[in-house]
């Protein structure tokens, strides 16, 4: 394998129509520089794969985009308007939601109750209100069927679901709550081929039939090329590659990542 100069990210077109765009984002924790001058964008309906080894800064970037961390410098634009994300709740109000590896589902609750968690449908008058379980069941079943998510029963507890089914429910809950920008943190982690295929099919379905934009953090390059429209490589807090997935390959990504690790020292961040 021949040594070449470190590749620079391609300058893909950026417009006010981007669902989300960040410009020159930097973040440090004490002496550790987690992110340095990071810029990326995602168009409406586009799926961006974000790759990079542990410690590259991926988790820090996602937490900034979801309102959990505030950047030290840089700008964030949501559908063309500059925003300062004040909290996770504020980010969600703008249509940004995150599905972390822990999923934030309640195992002892039913599928439909998890689908409407913290936004339950109620009926009644004034302070005398009751859960409208029939409505939540109907809406949950219709939506899950519509996007191709199959569960044993809408009344089943999430604890009885497989890992793939739980991940699908978590993703469906976000899109059902009108999330327009979805951040997926390792959605295929620790899954077998069958369960992984379920999530890949769901992401493909959402990409083909809606304007939901997604950033998918993943380590498996095969999955990235299969799920995503573009791929960004984050290395030591910097974006080192921005390329369409149909213009690259597993072999090229592997070579680029290996070359980056030979040419630059390791940095310790939070992932």
pTM confidence score = 0.81
pLDDT band at 59 (very low <50, low <70, confident <90, very high): confident
**Beta strands 213-217 and 181-185, pairing class:** parallel
Residue 67, number of CB atoms within 10 A of its CB: 22
Q: Tally Cβ neighbours within 10 Å of residue 170.
A: 23
Contact 163, 169 (CB under 8 A): no
Q: Identify which of 99, 80, 62, 79 has the alpha carbon closest to the alpha carbon of residue 176.
A: 99
71-89 pLDDT tens trace: 999 999 999 999 999 999 9
Alpha-carbon Rg for the chain, nearest whole angstrom, is: 20
CB atoms within 10 A of CB 38: 23
Length of the chain: 271
Structural domains for the chain: 1-8+18-95+213-271 (3.40.50.300)
DSSP per-residue codes, 108-155: TSBHHHHHTTTS--EEEETTEEEE-HHHHHHHHHHHHHHTT---S-TT
Asked if residue 156 lies in contact with residue 140, where contact means CB atoms within 8 angstroms, the answer is no
pLDDT of residue 8: 45
Instruction: Give the pLDDT confidence of 210-265 residue by residue, as tens digits.
Output: 678 999 998 889 999 999 999 999 988 889 899 999 999 999 999 988 887 666 65
Residue 265's pLDDT is: 56
- Beta sheet of 181-185, edge-to-edge order: 96-99, 181-185, 213-217, 47-51, 230-235, 238-244
pLDDT value for 232: 95
**Where residue 18 falls among pLDDT bands split at 50, 70, 90?**
very high
Query: Are the C-beta atoms of residues 213 and 53 closer than 8 Å to each other?
Result: no
Alpha helices in the chain (DSSP H): 58-65, 88-93, 111-115, 133-146, 163-176, 193-209, 221-227, 250-263
- Is 204 a residue whose pLDDT tops 80? yes
pLDDT digits (tens, 9 = 90+) for 103-157: 678 989 999 999 998 788 888 787 778 889 999 999 999 989 888 888 889 999 9
Cα-Cα-Cα-Cα dihedral sign, residues 162, 215, 6, 3: positive
């Amino acid at each position: 394998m021949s040594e070449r100069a470190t590749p620079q990210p391609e300058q893909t077109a950026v417009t006010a129509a981007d669902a989300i765009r960040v410009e020159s984002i930097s973040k440090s924790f004490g002496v550790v520089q987690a992110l340095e001058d990071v810029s990326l964008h995602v168009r409406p309906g586009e799926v961006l794969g974000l790759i990079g080894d542990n410690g590259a800064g991926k988790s820090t970037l996602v937490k900034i985009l979801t309102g959990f961390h505030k950047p030290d410098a840089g700008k964030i634009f949501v559908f063309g308007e500059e925003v300062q994300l004040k909290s996770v709740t504020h980010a969600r109000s703008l249509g940004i939601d995150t599905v972390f590896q822990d999923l934030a589902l309640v195992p002892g609750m039913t599928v439909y109750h998890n689908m409407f968690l913290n936004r339950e449908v109620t009926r009644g008058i004034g302070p005398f209100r009751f859960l409208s379980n029939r409505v939540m069941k109907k809406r949950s079943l219709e939506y899950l069927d519509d996007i191709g998510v199959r569960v044993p029963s809408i009344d089943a507890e999430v604890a009885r679901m497989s890992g793939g089914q739980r991940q699908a429910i978590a993703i469906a809950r976000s899109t059902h709550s009108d999330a327009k920008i979805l951040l997926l943190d390792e959605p295929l982690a620790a899954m077998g081929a069958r369960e992984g295929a379920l999530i890949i099919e769901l992401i493909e379905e959402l990409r083909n039939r809606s304007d939901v934009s997604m950033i998918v953090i993943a380590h498996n390059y095969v999955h990235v090329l299969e799920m995503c429209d573009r791929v960004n490589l984050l290395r030591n807090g910097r974006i080192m590659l921005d390329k369409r997935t149909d213009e690259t390959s597993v072999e090229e990504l592997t070579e680029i990542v290996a070359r980056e690790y030979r040419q630059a020292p390791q940095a310790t961040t939070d992932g």
